[in-house]
Structure formats: C-alpha cells, structure tokens
A = this chain, B = another copy of it.
C-alpha cells in the first residue's frame, strides 16, 4: 500500500490508460495540478453527507465505501471505491454530498480543489474525456448494483459483486490473477447487497464448500471464475472496459482549447 502510494498518481494513470489513449502533454497538465495528499485511517470519513466539498478526490490506495444510513440505523453501501477511482465530480456543481464516503482500510487520497481541476479540463479535451468516461463508468456500476440487489438471489449477488471487484481490482493493480485483496467484512458485504451478515456468512460458506471461492486472511481467490460468472449471470459489458473513441479528437482539433464538455 505504501509502495502504491509512493508512485504518486500512477494508479489512476494506469487505470485510465487502459481505456483512453493520452499523450504525455495531457499528463503533464494533470501532473502539475495543485493537490494535497491526505491519509485517512480505516473507519475515518473522507466526505460527510451534507457537507459541501469543493474538491475532487482521487483514491490512490486503499478501499473506501459510499453509504447512507437510515434513521433507525440500517446502512446501505451504495458502492465501493478502489484505487484509481475519482469521486465527487458532482462537487463541480457546488452541490452538497448526499452520501458519506468512509475509508474501509487506510486510504491515501489526492485532493484537488475544484478550480484548478476545472482549468485542467479546459486545457485538454482528452483529459476531460477521460474523466467523463470515469463518471460514465461509475454511473453504470450504480445501475448494475440496482439490478444485482433487485433481481438476484443471495448467491448470485455475492458472486456478481466478487467478479466486479475482481475486474476493477485488476484494472487498478494490473495483476491478472484470480486472487484479490478482500478487506471487507461480512457486514460490509451484507450492507452492500441488501442482506444480513449471517446470511452472507452462510452463503459464502456454501460457495467455499462447492469450490467456487477460497478465502485466506485478507484475500479471496476465485477458484472457478467461469462457473461463478455463469451462475451469477455476470456480463462485464457494463464496466465499459473497451478502448474509447475520443469524440473530441474528431470533433475538434487538438490545439483548440474549447470543447470540454463536448468530449466529456
């Protein structure tokens, strides 16, 4: 985790580079951004609901969750943030956060004030595209989370979530293996999937017994990924992992400094 952090923005760049082709001058703009590197301990809030953050966050290392609490204590985890994820672009509209974001493990976060960030987007249509892609992917993940919770059984939900986290984990780390870090407790998984910890435990035990997964302390191995994918009706399409066609590149010349939302 420390190692990941020391390389600076590279997690985000690695993630983006898989989908968007970016030249070094775009990256220069990005690298020169004014920013602050913050560390949050496990359990600490990164953003609190109701707070108005005028910053954009990029998660460098660690896992975080976005969640909402009901008045009677029920918690729903809306989504997970993995290294390389950008969040609260909605802060650019100067809106209050309607959900909290909390570190699940220790998190290293780059915090970028809105204004320089906006200026950067204005400076490069391709960077703007890249961030727009990231926002579109996040929204797509939200939609899939709705399908997962609304129309899948407990086993399907867990399998589907594990496969998503696995793909996203690979995107962040670059390691193409069937094993991933798993800092989530049964309660976290339950609150993400609309189940109870007890039932998650039972269901995952059954999955272990049938050779679908293997758990070690702090990590999980997808022992039979194909079978898992079949029985969870997992279809990666929603992650939008194909290379993007950058609209901007066609619509307007590179040297034009306008056209931000365009690509985005």
Contact = CB atoms under 8 A, between A and B. Distances in A.
A92 B264 contact: yes
Q: Per DSSP, are chain A's interface residues mostly helix, strand or loop, or mixed?
A: helix
Number of identical protomers: 2
Contacts of A261: 92, 118, 121-122, 128, 131-132, 260-261, 264
A17 interface: no
Contacts of A142: 139, 142-143, 146
A72 B233 CA distance: 9
A101 to B, nearest CB: 12
Interface stretch (A30-38, A102-110, A201-209, A240-248): A240-248
A132 B92 contact: yes
A66 B119 CA distance: 34
Nearest to A140: B98
A48 B54 CA distance: 37
A149 interface: yes
Interface residues of A, number: 62
Interface in A128-143: 128-129, 131-133, 136, 139-140, 142-143
A21 to B, nearest CB: 13
A210 interface: no
Interface stretch (A167-175, A180-188, A211-219, A251-259): A251-259
A72 to B, nearest CB: 8
A99 interface: yes
A186 to B, nearest CB: 16
16 contacts: A66-B143, A68-B143, A92-B247, A92-B264, A93-B264, A95-B240, A98-B140, A99-B143, A146-B146, A146-B149, A150-B191, A150-B193, A257-B258, A258-B260, A261-B264, A264-B264
